[in-house]
Amino acid sequence: MANLEEILVSEQVLQVPYSYSAGPVASRFLLALKEEKKIYGIWCAACNKVYVPPRATCGQCQAEIKDWVPLSGQGRVESFAVVHYAESIQPLPPPYVIAVIKLDGADTGFTHLLGEVDEKKLKIGLKVEPVFARERKGHILDIRYFKPI
């Protein structure tokens, strides 16, 4: 019988391969990034709210949402963090800036990267615009980052 004070460690790697379906609403949003370099929101007529990223159902009234709204892509930083630690799932090596951006014409903010920005000039309300990747794949990182205007 093992000593109760003995600590056993078993190192393993767990892999769970899977496929993710973005669904019809998110797919349309991602295809517009890829093919048009355009950001669309979706408008709830019942609540008069524009969601970005778009969703099939309104978070306020649970109505089905179907009305697409083209947006300029410009917006303002609502909050931000400078990331200084590394994790395997991160999109960039640190340091980098991640922010909640509320696009002009939208009622919700969404999280994305900031680039071409001096950390000392970061502030809430900073006006930004998207920089699109040269090669786009139908992924949220088809917007490489948002940069100050």
Q: Return the pLDDT at 7.
A: 75
- What pLDDT score does 9 carry? 80
Query: For residue 4, is it within any domain?
Result: no
- Residue 64 has a pLDDT of 95
Q: Domains in the chain: how many in total?
A: 1
Residue 137: inside a domain: yes
Do the domain assignments include residue 113? yes
Domain holding 47, by residue range, is 23-148
Low-confidence ranges of the chain (pLDDT < 50): none
Q: How many CA atoms lie within 13 A of 61 on its CB side?
A: 10
pLDDT given at position 148: 98
Q: Residues with Cβ < 8 Å from 32, sequence gap 6 or more?
A: 38, 39, 40
Residue 138, domain member (yes or no) = yes
Chain segment 40-73, per-residue pLDDT in tens: 999 999 999 999 999 999 999 999 999 999 999 9
- In whole angstroms, give the CA distance from residue 82 to residue 103: 20
pLDDT of res. 4: 64
> Is 2 contained in some domain?
no
Residue 14: inside a domain: no
Return the pLDDT at 11: 84
Q: Considering the domain boundaries, does residue 6 fall inside one?
A: no
- Whether residue 12 is contained in a domain is answered as no
Concatenate the DSSP letters of all residues of 42-104 into one string: EEETTTTEEESS--SB-TTT--B--EEEEE-S-EEEEEEEEE-S--TT-SSPSSEEEEEEEET
Nearest partner of 146 among 104, 85, 107, judged by Cα:
104
What is the rounded distance in angstroms from the CA atom of residue 95 to the CA atom of residue 112?
15
Structure tokens at 8: 């056993």
Q: What is the pLDDT of residue 20?
A: 80
Q: What is the pLDDT of residue 33?
A: 97
